[in-house]
Amino acid sequence: MKGVKLLKLFLMAQKDLLKLRKYDFPFLFVYGVTIPLIKQTVMKLIYTLVILSSGISAFGQKDQPAEDVHASLLTGKKRSLIAYAEKDHSFTLEVAGRQAKPSDVPGFINIDHQIVQSTLVPVDQSINVNAVTTDREKEILGKYMNYELEYYKKKLREDYSHLQTEWVTLRGRLFLVWYYDMPKNNQLVNRQLYVSTLFFDQVMDLNAPVFKAQDFDKAREILLRLAASMKTYDKQLDLTALARKLNKE
């Protein structure tokens, strides 16, 4: 993520901190926590989240990395969708009921008190995505994961430990589930969790910062439930019309 974007996030944070909602940062709203402490903690949180997602857009880019691309949240009366649409391809992820809400952290969504992000990353343009075998798909997703880890460790000079990976097939689609522990000196995020899949010529990446160790299973369940609901389309969905439809259901 570029320095200008980082500065923008901090300025937004300073301006809107007093508008915090409990469902965005439930772990902060405990008895005795003062507004100055909340401000300091949220500023550290936003910096941490920026660090965690800053390398994503550079994968597959030989030159200057582009801005991050995120899927949008479409909220409805009975259900919500996380949706993305481009010229020839689109996808939706379904969230039951009213569990999904926009987060005060830019680019993130709050689902049942868990912050989640859906990011799209272009793969190498030389790859023929129309003729990808399962082994080749695993290779692409593995390279994406390794790129993120290398960027995080070498470029951002942040450390991690206990990396674990697993392959999961949900409704015929292959996903790479990977997660690692954050450094012990990081007092906000305990573990970082990712669920990644190949979406035509991009990697669709779901990620969630896990603030407390006991919340990992819940975060994993949320991401896998989203992944299992993924529907793809060989056309550009009209997200405005889709949002209106959701509110009429």
Mean per-residue pLDDT pooled into runs of 10, the chain (249 residues): 38 42 42 43 54 53 54 89 94 84 82 91 83 92 92 79 96 97 85 95 93 94 96 96 90
How confident is the model at residue 64, as a pLDDT? 38
How confident is the model at residue 23, as a pLDDT? 41
* Among candidate residues 4, 17, 81, the one with its CA nearest the CA of residue 44: 17
Rounded to the nearest 10°, the torsion over CA 27, 222, 107, 138 is 130
How confident is the model at residue 157, as a pLDDT? 76
Where do the structural domains in the chain lie, given as residue ranges?
50-248
How confident is the model at residue 94, as a pLDDT? 95
How confident is the model at residue 98, as a pLDDT? 65
> Phi/psi class of residue 229: alpha, beta or left (left: φ > 0; alpha: ψ in -120 to 50)?
alpha
Length of the chain measured in residues = 249
Buried b (16+ CB within 10 A) or exposed e, 150-170: ebbeeeeebebeeeeeeeeeb
Rounded to the nearest 10°, the torsion over CA 60, 66, 67, 68 is -10
How confident is the model at residue 235, as a pLDDT? 96
Q: What is the pTM of this model?
A: 0.77
